[in-house]
Amino acid sequence: MLASAGHEVVETADAGVALLAYRTVPADVVIIDVLAPGRMEAPEFLRQLRRTFPDARVVTMAGRTSYREVDPLAVTLALGAARTIRMPLSRDDLLRIVEEVRP
């Protein structure tokens, strides 16, 4: 959706790889699925990213409202996510959110 709208998109296998990619070439906006499997969970990704890049703009997304009795989007919002997205969402909603959080 973002690439077809003219945005440059870099996809990574998991949050740990995303952190390395961001350190190499910081992005205007990072979008992370908080429930995606990988070596690093979204809250730890946010902690580490914020430690080095406090101004990074992160949008977190999730398809369900709870995981292990906790709302994962509320957790990431408390850790500094600029916005949260509840999936599914429309292309227009995604593009609007990206434009709102871009520097």
The predicted pLDDT at position 59 comes to 97
- Do you know the residue count of the chain? 103
Phi-psi category of residue 69: left, alpha or beta, with phi > 0 → left and psi -120 to 50 → alpha: left
CB 63 within 8 A of CB 35: yes
Q: What is the CATH number of domain 3-101?
A: 3.40.50.2300
pLDDT interval class at 67 (50, 70, 90): low
Across 22-26, 38-42, 65-69, 90-94, least confident range: 65-69
What radius of gyration, in Å, describes the C-alpha atoms of the chain?
13
- Map out the domains of the chain as residue ranges: 3-101
Q: Which two tokens stand for residue 65?
A: 């409202």
Per residue in 7-16, pLDDT (tens digit) is 999 999 899 9
